[in-house]
Amino acid sequence: MSEAHITHYLCIGCPLGCRLEVEDNGADDVVKVRGWGCKKGRAYGEEEHTDPRRVMATSVRIRGGRWGRIPVKTSGSIPKAMVREVAYAVRAIEVEAPIKIGTVVAANILGTGVDVITTRDMERA
């Protein structure tokens, strides 16, 4: 049997910012999460320990818009290990104005099952 191991995390699931202790059995199987103040905290601790994920926000180029870039974000969380790869893929995207908030500018980015969407409207210049 493997030796138990404890890892510490700062929860970002809600404004409380709980300090979590995640105990595993030495094989990354979560045995117990301690220190959470809400249900999101417990789920966050388990996910962060076994499959860390992030929502990514950035911007893409836009032609014919009032400004040269428009803000975008992922519609869900992507594996933390893929954030840099997704950022490079998003860097190559260019859209045309006008565009509405929530427009998908990249569907299923890099096979993650997550879309990249605009987070504001942009009219033509």
Residue type, 109: I
Concatenated DSSP letters of 22-40? EEE-SSS-EEEEES-SSHH
Residue partners of 66: CB distance under 8 A and separation at least 6: 97, 122, 123, 124, 125
Residue ranges, the chain, pLDDT below 70: 1-2, 28
Report d(CA 119, CA 45) in Å as an integer. Answer: 28
pLDDT tens digits, one per residue of 51-85: 999 999 999 999 999 999 999 999 999 999 999 99
Residue type, 88: Y
